[in-house]
């Protein structure tokens, strides 16, 4: 998809997404044979439920039908939320990932897996899990120190089990 089409689609669709109380996170157009797929990823600080996804999908579909933003030819519109292992690219993504385990690729080299505790304008406070019975340690990361960050899936978290039992 050309930058011009991407910008045009974002300018067209973002106000509709925002009016539904959501953020437009990503737009992607893929060609699958002769068909095209327009994927729109939305999110909010409190997440997006199925009703919100359905509402925004209907609004986007109607807007796309009344314009020529997708050009001639068939396409499929897919609206969803970020995946479980989402990349963190915006400040709001880090805020939404508070209390989540994240794998960081660091500018100094190497990787770090840590839990986000707090996010401010300069960076994040993390907790690095202890290994082999050692206590967790705190570490501050400036945004400039982070090359890439991705949320990690946790199937069983000991802290959650303790909270559920209480």
pLDDT value, residue 45:
82
Average pLDDT of 22-26? 90
- Which residue bears the tokens 């986000």? 116
Angle between helices 50-66 and 3-19 (to 10 degrees): 130
| CATH entry 3.30.70.20 includes domain 3-80 | no
Residues 64-115: tens digit of each pLDDT = 989 888 877 888 999 998 877 788 989 999 999 999 999 999 999 999 999 9
Total-model pTM: 0.70
Find out whether 114 and 144 touch, Cβ atoms under 8 Å: no
Choices 2.30.30.100, 1.20.1260.10, 1.10.10.10, 1.20.140.10: CATH for 91-165: 2.30.30.100
Q: What is the pLDDT of residues 35-57, one digit of tens each?
A: 889 999 998 888 888 899 999 99
Residues found in the chain: 166
Taking the domains of the chain in order of start, what are their residue ranges? Answer: 3-80, 91-165
pLDDT more than 90, % of the chain: 55
3-class secondary structure, 135: coil
Alpha-carbon Rg for the chain in angstroms: 19
């Amino acid at each position: 998809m050309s930058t011009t089409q991407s910008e045009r689609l974002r300018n067209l669709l973002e106000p509709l997404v925002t009016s539904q109380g959501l953020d437009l996170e990503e737009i992607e157009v893929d060609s699958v044979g002769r068909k095209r797929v327009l994927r729109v990823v939305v999110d909010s600080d409190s997440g997006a439920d199925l009703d919100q996804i359905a509402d925004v999908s209907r609004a986007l579909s109607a807007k796309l039908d009344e314009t020529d933003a997708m050009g001639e030819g068939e396409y499929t519109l897919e609206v969803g939320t970020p995946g479980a292992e989402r990349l963190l690219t915006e400040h709001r993504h880090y805020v939404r990932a508070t209390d989540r385990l994240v794998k960081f690729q660091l500018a100094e080299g190497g990787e770090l897996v840590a839990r986000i505790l707090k996010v401010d304008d300069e960076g994040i406070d993390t907790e690095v899990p202890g290994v082999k019975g050692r206590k967790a340690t705190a570490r501050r990361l400036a945004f400039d120190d982070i090359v890439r960050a991705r949320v990690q899936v946790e199937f069983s978290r000991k802290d959650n089990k303790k909270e559920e039992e209480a």
